[in-house]
Structure 1
Amino acid sequence: MKDLISDRKLINTTMWILLVGVAFFGTMPLFVLIYYAFAIFMIMRTAQSQFPKRVKIWMIVAYLVLAVLQIVFAANAVEAHHFNLVTAFFSRVFAAAIILLPLAIERIVVVNKKTDFYLPSIKEVATVSFEQLNTNKELISHSLQGMGKIKHTLSTDNLKETFEDLHRHSSTRYINNGSLTDDYFKLAEQSLSDPYIYLVISNTGSSASEIISLFTQKQYNHASISFDADLKTIISYNGGEKVYPPGLNAEMVEAFHKKDDASVLIYRLPTTTEQKQLIINKVKQINSDGSAYNLLGLVIKHSYRPNIMFCSQFVYQMLKLADLEYFDKPAGDVRPTDFIELDYYKKLEFCYEIKF
């Protein structure tokens, strides 16, 4: 048993070393060779498996189609002209990561025990009733709308804007220092008499937010806090609107309006003067020490340094600092909608919604 575990660890370690090596040093011909070799390996593995014949056929077809798509991506990403070294690096990393996609297909079939897939016969197709079609009409319509959203989100303009902004970020060092001014902290101190802190959950429509929504499947993908009811002291971790470096920055409600159906939800959470002062002091410290937007943290859920965070991680950390958190979750796993959906004890009070 120990030998088996040891062998498995060795295989996993070797695989990760190979993936990292390909990500850094792989050429287009090497990527193509690996995609095809892995597809052939998985096809042979499937052919010798105990899956029903129909399932084997579907899996083999999926591996072949996937190999073609992988090669097309590599041709358009690995060898393509990039805006900067950062976009080139992330493209190669992604090209290396998708080498393992065939394993994901096999795992889906095995884990979900989907061994009864089959193509319907002509007779079965002919007996589909109008009632069934009508029942599925809403689901089909929703799926088509989803495909349209994906097409819009992954448009050339959106991807170009997102990738062009990558070079401004850092997930290893502080790049934002002192973006919050003395005037900002004066306003924050003036709000101490207000017995609430305000959570601002927004659906901004920025390119990055739209792409994130594809993975979170949530409409609202940004979280901020404000010390005053008029929202003059909104802050969060963001991209700096190309004015300030990504990290801890002040925000304005008007800046959330990046698409026609953008909207903002405002909630308030009861707090004491001491709790609010504690958060303000911490914000001062972060502003002085430096910060950066943890772009990689959205995926790997880890911060290299304490002040490198993403928006919802920052908001949760501030609430936890003042003993105001009302749900238990690792800060790196917190998403903007969690502040609403995990409010089981109704600690938040809904204030209003802003529609542009």
Structure 2
Amino acid sequence: MNKDTQIYILLSNPRTIVTKMIGLYTRAPYNHASIAFDSELREVYSFGRKHPLIPVFGGFVKENIHSGVFEKATCAIYSCSVSKETYERMRTYVRQFEENDELYSYNFLGILGIILNMELGKENSYFCSQFVSSVFKQGGVDLVNKSAALTTPADLQSCTHLELIFRGSLETYRQLCCYRRNNSVQQHPSYVV
């Protein structure tokens, strides 16, 4: 298989009530997972809050890493090499969510399922890492040896298929991307901080 396209996973710790509550249980450094189709994180998708002030109103979202809950977030960014065909299958799958976002809801019950080690939740409901894992599974890439409905951000963090390219403040990563863009740097070196 010709692996020549990169897909990115953003693990973060945004400043929300839900991630703080999850963090109290997991004690993990990152409690939110997103998938990105570019290294500058312009196309970032996940399941999370749809309204900045109402945390229980959640579903499929295109995230803006430049504002809101991500402004002061810490993160780890991973890349995964896939074939162009796999990339396109994954991108097409996410487009279906974009085109029909009103059909999807946040899987709050699924978070309880993680604690109980049981797959819980209704059809068309996802939590963040469940969604990311589902996108990879749809592309034919099994990141972890468990069902998407039981996958946590910590599981993604320990995946051997992923290469860590950055860890630190999301603001620092945004500045590095801006520097690269303004100085026409073509390849991204690992920015692990």
Bigger Rg, which one: 1
Displacement, 1:285?
A: 1.8
Query: In the alignment, which of 233, 238, 241 is matched to residue 43 of structure 2?
Result: 233
Aligned twin of 1:252: 64
Contact kept, 8 Å, 1:200 with 1:226, in 2: the verdict is yes
Query: In the alignment, which of 148, 158, 162 is matched to residue 348 of structure 1?
Result: 162
Tell me how far apart the structure 1 counterparts of residues 36 and 120 of structure 2 sit (CA, whole Å): 25
Tell me how far apart the structure 1 counterparts of residues 133 and 41 of structure 2 sit (CA, whole Å): 19
3-state SS of paired residue (1:267): strand
Aligned twin of 1:304: 122
Matched, 1:293 2:106: yes
3-state SS of paired residue (1:337): helix
Alpha-carbon deviations, 1:46-93, whole Å to 9, x = none?
Answer: xxxxxxxxxxxxxxxxxxxxxxxxxxxxxxxxxxxxxxxxxxxxxxxx
Give the aligned CA root-mean-square deviation in angstroms: 2.0
Contact kept, 8 Å, 1:202 with 1:256, in 2: the verdict is no
Displacement, 1:256?
A: 4.1
Normalised TM-score (structure 1): 0.41
Aligned twin of 1:156: none
Aligned twin of 1:204: 14
Tell me how far apart the structure 2 counterparts of residues 258 and 239 of structure 1 sit (CA, whole Å): 15
Matched, 1:323 2:140: yes
Number of equivalent positions: 157
Aligned twin of 1:81: none
Q: Which has the higher contact order (CA 8 A, sep 6+)?
A: 2
Contact kept, 8 Å, 1:295 with 1:310, in 2: the verdict is yes
Contact kept, 8 Å, 2:65 with 2:71, in 1: the verdict is no
Tell me how far apart the structure 2 counterparts of residues 206 and 242 of structure 1 sit (CA, whole Å): 9
> What one-letter code is carried by the residue in structure 1 that aligns with 2:64?
M
Aligned-residue sequence identity (percent) comes to 29
Displacement, 1:303?
A: 2.4
Cα distance change, pair 224–321 in 1 and its aligned pair in 2 (3 A):
same
Aligned twin of 1:42: none
3-state SS of paired residue (2:86): helix
3-state SS of paired residue (1:240): strand
3-state SS of paired residue (1:201): strand
Normalised TM-score (structure 2): 0.74
More helix by share: 1
Contact kept, 8 Å, 2:5 with 2:83, in 1: the verdict is yes
Aligned twin of 1:274: 85
Displacement, 1:298?
A: 0.5
Equivalences for residues 84-95 of structure 1 within 5 A: none
Unaligned runs of 5+ in 1: 1-193
Alpha-carbon deviations, 1:165-217, whole Å to 9, x = none?
Answer: xxxxxxxxxxxxxxxxxxxxxxxxxxxxx710000000113111111111112
Equivalences for residues 82-231 of structure 1 within 5 A: 195-231=5-41
Tell me how far apart the structure 2 counterparts of residues 257 and 235 of structure 1 sit (CA, whole Å): 13
Tell me how far apart the structure 1 counterparts of residues 122 and 161 of structure 2 sit (CA, whole Å): 32
Tell me how far apart the structure 2 counterparts of residues 196 and 243 of structure 1 sit (CA, whole Å): 34
3-state SS of paired residue (1:239): strand
